[in-house]
Amino acid sequence: MSAAREQSAGRSPEHSENKPPEEIRADIEQTRKALGDTAEALAAKTDVKSQTKDRIAQVKENAQRKRDEFAARAREATPDSAAAGVEQIVSTVKDRPTPFSVLGAFAGGVLVGWLFGRGH
């Protein structure tokens, strides 16, 4: 390294001359590793395709999580409301069976007429 480069790097020329070769090699290796990490980080930031894939995966994961949360809340709410609805229908039929009997007979007649009409 020239004296000008060493001074711009914040070192004096005497400082690097006094280092043993093993220490200099270790410094060089550490600098290479740091430079490699920096280059890798810059490459990742400029890789638009990879960033897009990562973002899509993140959006899918968030959508899946929200869907699961919604389904869990729906399952928690449904049994009580569905059971209450069935109980209300059963109670209404028990209280006023005649309209439902007439409706059932009419539906049965329509079904029988439809089945016989198909045979011709």
What local confidence, expressed as pLDDT, does residue 58 receive?
A: 93
pLDDT (tens digit, 9 = 90+) per residue, 7-29? 545 555 445 568 899 999 999 99
pTM above 0.75, yes or no: no
pLDDT (tens digit, 9 = 90+) per residue, 93-104? 888 888 888 888
Alpha-carbon dihedral of residues 6, 12, 13, 15, nearest 10 degrees?
-120
Number of helices (H) and strands (E) in the chain: give both, helices first: 5, 0
> What average pLDDT does range 106-112 have in this prediction?
89
Query: How is residue 12 written in tokens?
Result: 């004096």
